[in-house]
Amino acid sequence: MAAVIWDVDLKRVLVHEGSRFELGVRFASDASRLVLYGPSGAGKTQTLKMIAGIARPDSGRVAVAGRTLFDSKAGIRLSPQDRRLACVFQDYALFPHLSVRQNIAFARRSGWLNPSPQVHDAQVDRWIAAFHLESVAGHLPHQISGGQRQRTALARALVNEPTALLLDEPFAALDNALRQRLRGELKDLQAQLRLPMLLITHDDDDVRLLADQVVTLQAGHVVEAPANQEAAFVG
């Protein structure tokens, strides 16, 4: 477990309607379950977006599982398409015009057309079964429950065998009982796939139940290095 999985050093200055926000996030960790923790507005989502390649940092470096995705000094900047990171967004960002099956099959087709509603694909069927989505596979995202939406988003992200999993507040939209159950499911899934996972949250329970290590972010900067994780467990 000595190999560094997450190697992140990112700088970005955001100017929005006259106010200036300076983001300088730097951490390195060998944890296969890393939690990025902090209050809202700390820059967690921005950090995740920069790792995923959908927001552009001013400078810095990102390497995940030994693969350099971004390095401003070396002139490396992989597109989000080439990073092979599975992302689960806060509101799940399911395609509202496509069924659960089509959402999950989305990445299985690279052309200009969406997968057909009847698409059959071993990987798609495998994930639909794994997340118990058979009964709602033909439904649109707005017709299914919050928990099913979260599972659909996970399945969609995992279907193309990514190298790591990034999750932005994956439990925030769910009620308490469901949250507890899905935390357990996610933990089992991660262990089963042995897929490095980075989870963003402002919820102490997520930290306590899911984190191997914690990076705490405040006002755009890391305030606690992963080494002294005990501090995070106190609260």
Partner 1 sequence: MEGAWVALALTLKVAFWATALNLLFGVGIGYAMARWRFAGREVLDAVFTLPMVMPPTVLGYYLLVLIGTHGPLGAWLLKHAGIRLIFTWQGAVIAAMVVSFPLVFKGARAAFETVDAQLENAARTLGIHEIAVFFRVSLPLAWRGILAGLLLSFARALGEFGATLMVAGSIPGRTQTLSIAVYEAVQAGQDDVANFLVALTSITCIAVLLAAGRLVPGRVAPRD
Distance CA 60, CA 79 (A): 15
Distance CA 164, CA 173 (A): 23
Interface with partner 1 by CB under 8 A: which range of 35-43, 86-94, 125-133, 223-231? Answer: 86-94
Quick one: which of 16, 20, 142, 194 contacts partner 1 (CB under 8 A)? 142
Interface with partner 1 by CB under 8 A: which range of 63-71, 82-90, 187-195, 209-217? Answer: 82-90
- Verify binding: residue 56, partner 1, rule CB under 8 A: no
* DSSP helix/strand/coil, 95: coil
Distance CA 100, CA 106 (A): 10
Supply the minimum distance, in Å, between the C-beta of residue 111 and partner 1. Answer: 6
Burial class (CB in 10 A: 0-12, 13-18, 19+), 159: buried
- Label the pairing between strands 6-16 and 19-29: antiparallel
- Verify binding: residue 114, partner 1, rule CB under 8 A: yes
Interface with partner 1 by CB under 8 A: which range of 78-86, 178-186, 197-205, 224-232? Answer: 78-86
- Verify binding: residue 78, partner 1, rule CB under 8 A: no
* Angle of the 146-158 helix axis to the 176-193 helix axis, nearest 10: 20
Binding positions for partner 1, rule: CB under 8 A: 49, 52-54, 79-87, 89, 91, 93, 95-97, 106-107, 110-114, 117, 140, 142, 156-157, 160
